[in-house]
Each structure stands twice: as structure tokens, then as C-alpha cells.
Amino acid sequence: MSTAPAAIKLTQLSHGGGCGCKMSPAILRQILSTPLSPFPPELLVGTETSGDAAVYRLNDEQALVA
């Protein structure tokens, strides 16, 4: 007789939820203060804006937002 594995809740793997999990702007600025190697031209939005996402051009009509 086999038993099903115990259910795993994704919240068990996180120290907080929502905005409570974000780093403060000061900590993020410190982490990103060291210049990274040159970015490829396909990177339309990267770390320079300190935004919530990056935009990478896949081709002339598509881009990936992460």
C-alpha cells in the first residue's frame, strides 16, 4: 500500500509575502552599485533604472519582461 507524498505549500519556502519580501531601496542600491560587465544591446531595460523588471529584446517584434 503506497501513500501519497505530503503536500508542500509554496509559502513554506518564503520568509514573507508580497511587498514584505522586497529589499529596501538602500540595500538594492548597494548591491547594484558595482558596475557589471557591458550589457548586450538586446537588454532594453536593466539594472540602471532600479525598476521591478528587466526587458530583453528577443527579435524585432518581441521582448521578454522579467
Residues identified as active-site:
19
Neighbouring residues of 29: CB distance < 8 A, sequence distance ≥ 6: 50
* Euclidean distance between CA atoms 23 and 57, whole angstroms: 27
For 43, half-sphere exposure in the C-beta direction (CA atoms, 13 angstrom radius) is 11
